[in-house]
Structure 1
Amino acid sequence: MDFDYSPKTKELQARLQRFMDEYIYPNEATYWSELEANTQAGKRWSHLHFLDALKDKAKEQGLWNLFLPKDTAEIAGVDGAGLTNQEYAPLAEIMGRVGWASEVFNCAAPDTGNMETIARYGTKEHHERWLKPLLNGDIRSAFAMTEPEVASSDATNICTRIERQGDEYIINGHKWWISGAGDPRCAVYITMGKSDPEAPKHSQQSMVLVAADTPGVRVVRPLSVMGYDDAPHGHMEMYFENVRVPASNILLGEGRGFEIAQGRLGPGRIHHCMRLIGKAERALELMCKRASSRVAFGKTIAQQTVTQERIAEARCRIDMARLLTLKAAWMMDTVGNKVARTEIAMIKVVAPKLACDVIDWAIQVHGGGGMSQDFPLAFDYAHARTLRFADGPDEVHRNAIAKWELGKYGTYGKNADVPITRGS
């Protein structure tokens, strides 16, 4: 593995960093002030319009759809950055330093995974109706998988029913933690459910496209994440009640839901983990600056041994996590997601825990301010903590890693699947 970034990546890194410095960091306060204004006007779940101007600038500067692989762009018939996972990873890290920045470049979850899914497994009709508007940033999307009645860490438990009736599918189910469903621009749900309860275990599930305005789709409430409701994006509880969609809305075919999920979640985990590393890197930066400027008990907080230990530990762990994530990305590019399954599972365990720890240490150095809206740390911690569930709980990935490792010394775990669990 070559540890250096390609010239193309380095050039994009410089351009992206310049954009962040000129337009993203100076507008962090704008984001929260416009959201507060919408809240006071009773329009909390409204689009933040200042983002539109930033998106136009990102398009003008060629920093749009950076996540889009070349093969997927060709399938969709659009221009894309054509980056490998390894080339895109450091760009995702830069964007991840500010929670809402990815949207400015049309690289936000869950849209990135949904766009790749529709491109790879959808029809030309799906491309025209959903994919192109998503790639243009005209609409947004959601991935409807997780359910409150079952342990969704085992996706075979998913019990939403998708039943064929003539030329339609009828969908009935109860979902929650549906990321992006609160956004007023959310126009389509990729919905996972059980189409054949009698089929083999991993052939019972299917995925179908559901237009957000279809009768019977009912969004109940936003779910708060440690006190944040993440408006206007939102993580919603919702029902599908006798929702009828054309049979042509099925993706790839009945019983192919797990197959689709395998293809969707690998790249998504890379994106999540690199964004988390970006959050951890920024938290370390803020921690060092704060520690150097605050005095307690006659010396700066930076001179306190406990602070120095945490800064050193953060530096070591961030770099280790980055290298592990880049290795996973490189393996996905060179030998495919299935062979890279152990590395993908490992980064999913390592990156969220790293981010939580480093952000927590940064909060501690900031004192009471770290818990407030004056710094991004509290919000970033809440987001990082959710990602120990999203794309699969730590425990599921650890079990899979252990089984694959034990499989080297016997038969146990040789046929273990990559965990397919909730993903955003």
Structure 2
Amino acid sequence: MDFAFDARTEELRAKLLAFMDEYVYPAEAVAEEQRAALASPWDTPAVVEELKAEARSQGLWNLFLPDAHHGAGLTNLQYAPLAEITGRSPQLAPTALNCAAPDTGNMEVLAQFGDEQQKKQWLEPLLAGEIRSAFAMTEPEVASSDATNIETRIRRDGDNYVITGRKWYISGAMNPHCKIFIVMGKTDPDGADIRRQQSMILVPRDTPGVTVKRAMQVFGYEDHSHGGHAEVVFDEARVPAANLIGEEGSGFAIAQARLGPGRIHHCMRLIGMAERAIELMCRRAVSRTAFGKALAQQGVVHNWIADARVTVEQLRLLVLKTAWMMDTVGNKGAHAEIQAIKIATPRAVVDIIDKAIQLHGAGGVSQDFPLAELWASARTLKLADGPDEVHQRSLARRELKRYV
């Protein structure tokens, strides 16, 4: 087996690593200082726009999209090591490269399922980084881990659709540059096929009846860099029928197509987060002394670092295998592997970051190190794009099928 990256991947890795060292890491503290001086915490610090301009000028832009007409034309296998690098600074790097969720998934939906007018109006400015977007699926009143529970109503009324419902944890919706929602709701709530009841529709943020009510915190963080996670109410919001994505009843299938790449992108970035945590753990271990010797000489610290390295190498191979399978047999053919990495990666990375926090003592839970925020992000990914337990259930049933 050949584990080497191809020439294009190596070239982009070298450029991206240099970009991170020269621009992204120094900008982390600058972004925090600038945010404190903004009129609204949801406004974008100037340094973020500077990073975006620099990344675009270097060709480090829209790397996630395999469609060469709209994106960089990279395969999943080529993109995986690049996403890992951006995961080392998840609050800045993905946004700088126009590779941040939820915009990535929304661009994939529009590129794959949108019509020409929808692409012109919404995909093109998203690809250019001129606007942001949100994906409105999760609801507070139902167990959204089962997408067939969605209660938001999308009702046809002549040449329009009328949307009524309540969503929450809608990522990116607090950002003033968020101009468009992709909303999932039911057009046929009484349909015999529960997976054909849902549809997806484009709802501009300024549509009458759309109210962004509040920002939802995540372990006390408001996640300003990603545009927050909002509660959004749709109260008889009326949009043209042409805003429907695909056809009525296709929402569930579109959601599955959207979430597949998103899950692997999260896992790629999680590995980068783990690598950052290991680096911080090692730097701390060699710089601090306790009970007469360096932390790096303590046996328990040896165990943490060794276990972390073994775990990351295992996860990386599983993610790369999954990316290769998505490229060769498609997302459906790689379904079991996608589920496997979605289960394994957040769980393991949370533990690695936790050990790094422990090694940093009080500093680990402070704002002076990125570890607490990294932990909150990683822990959230045990829920995002489907809770781990849902994937475990599905994967186990797939395994058991061979014996029944």
Deviation at 1:54, TM superposition (A): 1.3
Instruction: Indicate whether 1:216 and 2:209 are aligned.
Output: yes
TM-score, structure 2 length as denominator?
0.98
Instruction: Indicate whether 1:204 and 2:197 are aligned.
Output: yes
Residue identity opposite 1:197 in structure 2: P
Q: How does 1:273-288 map to 2 (within 5 A)?
A: 273-288=267-282
Paired position in structure 1 for 2:135: 143
Distance, in Å, in 2 between the alignment partners of 1:313 and 1:286 is 15
Paired position in structure 2 for 1:226: 219
Distance, in Å, in 2 between the alignment partners of 1:4 and 1:261 is 33
Q: CA-to-partner distance for each residue in 1:216-251, whole Å, 9 max, x for gaps? A: 110111011111111251000110000001111111
Instruction: Indicate whether 1:169 and 2:161 are aligned.
Output: yes
Paired position in structure 2 for 1:127: 119
Paired position in structure 1 for 2:343: 349
Paired position in structure 1 for 2:64: 67
Distance, in Å, in 1 between the alignment partners of 2:121 and 2:68 is 16
Retained in 1: the 8 A contact 2:102–2:171? yes
Q: Percent identity?
A: 59
Deviation at 1:2, TM superposition (A): 3.4
Instruction: Indicate whether 1:183 and 2:180 are aligned.
Output: no
Residue identity opposite 1:220 in structure 2: K
Paired position in structure 1 for 2:24: 24
Distance, in Å, in 1 between the alignment partners of 2:65 and 2:224 is 26
Deviation at 1:35, TM superposition (A): 1.5
Distance, in Å, in 2 between the alignment partners of 1:179 and 1:17 is 27
Show structure 1 runs of 4+ deviating over 4 A: none
Q: CA-to-partner distance for each residue in 1:69-114, whole Å, 9 max, x for gaps? A: 1xx343xxx4x31100010010000011002211001000010110
Residue identity opposite 2:51 in structure 1: L
Q: CA-to-partner distance for each residue in 1:27-82, whole Å, 9 max, x for gaps? A: 110111111222xx4x112122211111111111111111121xx343xxx4x311
Paired position in structure 2 for 1:402: 396
Paired position in structure 1 for 2:5: 5
Retained in 1: the 8 A contact 2:135–2:182? yes
Distance, in Å, in 1 between the alignment partners of 2:278 and 2:14 is 21
Instruction: Indicate whether 1:327 and 2:321 are aligned.
Output: yes
Paired position in structure 1 for 2:334: 340
Distance, in Å, in 2 between the alignment partners of 1:150 and 1:262 is 19
Residue identity opposite 2:238 in structure 1: R
Distance, in Å, in 2 between the alignment partners of 1:36 and 1:350 is 36
Q: CA-to-partner distance for each residue in 1:231-285, whole Å, 9 max, x for gaps? A: 2510001100000011111111000011111211111111110101100011001
Instruction: Indicate whether 1:296 and 2:290 are aligned.
Output: yes
Of residues 79, 86, 93, the one that matches 2:77 is: 86
For structure 2, which runs of at least 5 residues remain unmatched after alignment?
none
Distance, in Å, in 1 between the alignment partners of 2:344 and 2:55 is 31
Residue identity opposite 2:61 in structure 1: W
Secondary structure of 2:333 counterpart? coil
Of residues 375, 381, 402, the one that matches 1:387 is: 381
Distance, in Å, in 2 between the alignment partners of 1:2 and 1:169 is 52
Deviation at 1:6, TM superposition (A): 1.1
Instruction: Indicate whether 1:97 and 2:88 are aligned.
Output: yes
Secondary structure of 2:109 counterpart? helix
TM-score, structure 1 length as denominator?
0.93
Paired position in structure 2 for 1:118: 110
Secondary structure of 2:231 counterpart? strand
For structure 1, which runs of at least 5 residues remain unmatched after alignment?
411-424
Distance, in Å, in 2 between the alignment partners of 1:320 and 1:215 is 50
Q: CA-to-partner distance for each residue in 1:383-415, whole Å, 9 max, x for gaps? A: 1111100001011011111000001111xxxxx
Residue identity opposite 1:83 in structure 2: L
Paired position in structure 2 for 1:243: 237
Instruction: Indicate whether 1:312 and 2:306 are aligned.
Output: yes
Distance, in Å, in 2 between the alignment partners of 1:216 and 1:4 is 53
Secondary structure of 1:182 counterpart? coil
Distance, in Å, in 2 between the alignment partners of 1:153 and 1:51 is 33
Deviation at 1:126, TM superposition (A): 0.5
Secondary structure of 2:331 counterpart? coil
Residue identity opposite 1:34 in structure 2: Q
Residue identity opposite 1:12 in structure 2: L
Distance, in Å, in 1 between the alignment partners of 2:157 and 2:285 is 64
Secondary structure of 2:332 counterpart? coil
Secondary structure of 2:330 counterpart? coil
Count of aligned pairs: 401
Distance, in Å, in 2 between the alignment partners of 1:73 and 1:189 is 25
Distance, in Å, in 2 between the alignment partners of 1:179 and 1:253 is 25
Q: CA-to-partner distance for each residue in 1:292-321, whole Å, 9 max, x for gaps? A: 110000111111111111111100111111
Q: CA-to-partner distance for each residue in 1:147-200, whole Å, 9 max, x for gaps? A: 000000000000000011111100000000000001110010110001101221
